[in-house]
Amino acid sequence: MWKLRKYLVPYWKASVLAPLFMMLEVAMDLMQPMLMASIVNHGVMESDIVHIQQTGLLMLVVAVIGMFAGFACTIFSSRAAMQFSADLRMDLFAKVQSFSFRQLDLFKSGSLITRLTNDVAQLQQLVQMSLRAFVRGPLIIVGSIIMTFIINPSLAIIVVVTISTLIILIYLLIRFASPLFSKLQKKLDNVNTTVQENVSNIRAVKSFVRSDYENKRFARVNQDFTQTAIKAFRIMALNMPIVSLILYSSVVLILWFGAHQAWQGNMPVGDLIAFINYVIQVLFSLLMIGNLMMMVTRGRASAERVNDVFSVSVDTEDVESHNNEVLQGKVNFENVSFSYGDGQKEKTIENINLSICPGKRIAIVGSTGAGKSTLVQLLLRLYEPTSGTIYIDGKDIRDIPLSELRKRIAIVSQNPFLFSGTIKENICFGLPNASEEEIIKAAKMAQAHEFIDKLPGRYDARIGQKGVNLSGGQKQRISIARALLLQPKILILDDSTSAVDTATEMQIQQEIRQQLDGCTCIMIAQRISSVINADTIVVMEHGRILSQGSHEQLLHDCRIYQEIYQSQFRNGGLLNGY
């Protein structure tokens, strides 16, 4: 938790002013019992009305000063805590953005959401309370104990014994609760992950009539979280009754012995009242600190989880930009291998050697799981190769700044993600300053302008979350337009026209050839009709390149390609509507 202190440093003024105002409030609170004792001992017992009025007015002034000091403390502590959490959340989000796909695989998406929201909120609450209650509690306890010894040293011993007993009990409660709160946050991860998976795939759930299964799955993780929460808060629940029992027991003892001394004339009645007030302040401060220590336990667990994200070392090292070289689009894979898991024996990509000339159209085909998509993800450095090197224009891609590399390479995936917003905002996502003419031109190239023009609002038409109000083909065409707007030197189409009819697909490819002259195009496809006119077709199987050549060459020489072709074409026509 100490590692996160740097997020409070920029707000040191508020972080210092909050405790200072709290110290002023505590000083005012410590004055009140003595002023009350003075009213009783000198005003009431001696029937001095003037003393009662003067001291009462002083009590009112002290109370007003304490009120404003407490208000100022709350303002400054809240400001520091909220700025702390805002900066922490921003850096945490930025850290997640810097993760490679391999690093993202270390965390469940629900876990990252919990850390960005619930864990940061726990730390915000802890910081705010630390600047207030953790200052007030110890000061009240120390100040009140000093005052009780000044008033009556013999009765003050009861207070010291009570405090010692409570400290031991609070320590034991925290020790037992701490592991449970760490476990509780992990259970909350499971709840968030289950909810996210269900919401993201709700159409599949309903299509396969699996709502009952999903309800049972959520019930399991929800029950697991609830049971852990009950165990944790059961221990926390012991805090209040135990402290209250000890508190009232000590008050009874003090009243018993104090009343006996007052009866004998050894202790003024006003002093006894002041003593009781100080004891109550001490014991309620201990009760507050006990609850805060439980909060510290939860905060420590949250801090560890946040630090887990920050401690992930960057496996995709970036370099500084030294020049603005014009990318030509020549790509070379030299002995490239890759596996997803650390130490995983089976390689997803194995010993790939591939050369792609600038401005050429190369297609990659193969069965599901052959490694086609993984290959292009390596080109974008979304993953790092286990071994081997990838070059662009003869330069190791690790020596090219990530921002420059990814600005010059555009990719369109089979399942494009559209953001909530307008169609225009989605198309110009990669180029926010694009003109309306450029956006329309890109949409026309992607064969999307015609259907966009018919929508209410046209390019200002709003898209629902994930593009729910658009068809699969429409979403793919908007994603293609988004990529084409960048005028990339390397364009990757990862089965990006699977939901588009063949005629429209041919038109898109023709526009790319005409408008993006010199662009290196890498196409991954399941349909032979999508790649039949490519300059080179690469056939992959089990992470290896089996063969490469033109359509005619592969039909003659490659058995796998022949099987794919024959499965899709029959009697010169396309099978299953392809």
Q: What is the DSSP string of 54-68?
A: HHHHHHHHHHHHHHH
Provide the residue type at 159 as one letter: V
Between strands 520-524 and 490-494, the pairing is parallel
CATH topology of domain 331-577: Rossmann fold (3.40.50)
pLDDT score of 202: 66
pLDDT score of 71: 92
Distance CA 523, CA 518 (A): 15
Provide the residue type at 250 as one letter: S
pLDDT score of 578: 37
Cβ(484)–Cβ(514) below 8 Å: no
With b for 16 or more beta-carbon neighbours within 10 A and e for fewer, the 159-173 pattern comes to beebbebbeebbeeb
> At residue 93, what are phi and psi to the nearest 5 degrees?
-65, -45
Q: Each residue's pLDDT tens digit in the chain (578 positions)?
A: 667 778 888 888 888 899 899 999 889 988 888 888 888 877 777 677 888 888 889 889 989 998 999 899 989 988 888 888 888 888 888 888 777 767 776 777 677 787 888 888 888 888 888 888 888 888 888 898 888 888 888 888 888 888 888 778 877 877 777 777 778 877 887 887 787 777 666 656 665 567 777 788 888 888 888 888 887 777 777 767 777 787 778 878 888 888 887 787 777 888 888 888 888 888 788 777 777 777 777 777 778 888 878 877 765 555 665 555 556 788 889 998 888 766 556 778 888 898 888 888 888 888 777 888 888 888 888 888 888 898 988 888 888 887 788 778 888 887 777 887 888 888 888 888 888 888 888 888 888 888 888 888 888 888 876 666 778 788 888 888 888 888 888 888 888 777 777 788 888 888 888 877 778 888 888 778 778 888 888 888 888 888 888 888 888 888 888 888 887 776 455 444 33
pLDDT score of 64: 93
Six-digit token pair at 367?
A: 């069965």
pLDDT score of 475: 85
CA angle 441, 508, 360 (to 5 degrees): 105
Mark residue 341 as left, alpha or beta (left: phi above 0; alpha: psi -120 to 50; beta: remaining). beta
Q: Spell out the domain ranges in the chain.
A: 2-310, 331-577
Residue with token string 């009556």:
152
Distance CA 81, CA 99 (A): 27
Six-digit token pair at 395?
A: 């330069």
Distance CA 481, CA 434 (A): 12
Residue 455's alpha-carbon distances to 417, 441, 509, in angstroms, are: 20, 17, 25
Long-range contact list for 34-41, CB < 8 A, 24+ apart? 34/147, 34/274, 35/59, 35/62, 36/270, 36/273, 36/274, 36/277, 37/151, 37/268, 37/270, 37/271, 37/273, 37/274, 38/270, 39/270, 40/268, 40/269, 40/270, 40/273, 41/268, 41/269, 41/270, 41/271
Query: What residues pair up with 362 in beta bridges, in sequence order?
Result: 522, 536
pLDDT score of 274: 86
pLDDT score of 65: 92
| pTM for the predicted model, two decimal places | 0.64
pLDDT score of 268: 81
Class of domain 2-310: mainly alpha
Asked whether this chain's domains 2-310 and 331-577 adopt the same fold, the reply is no
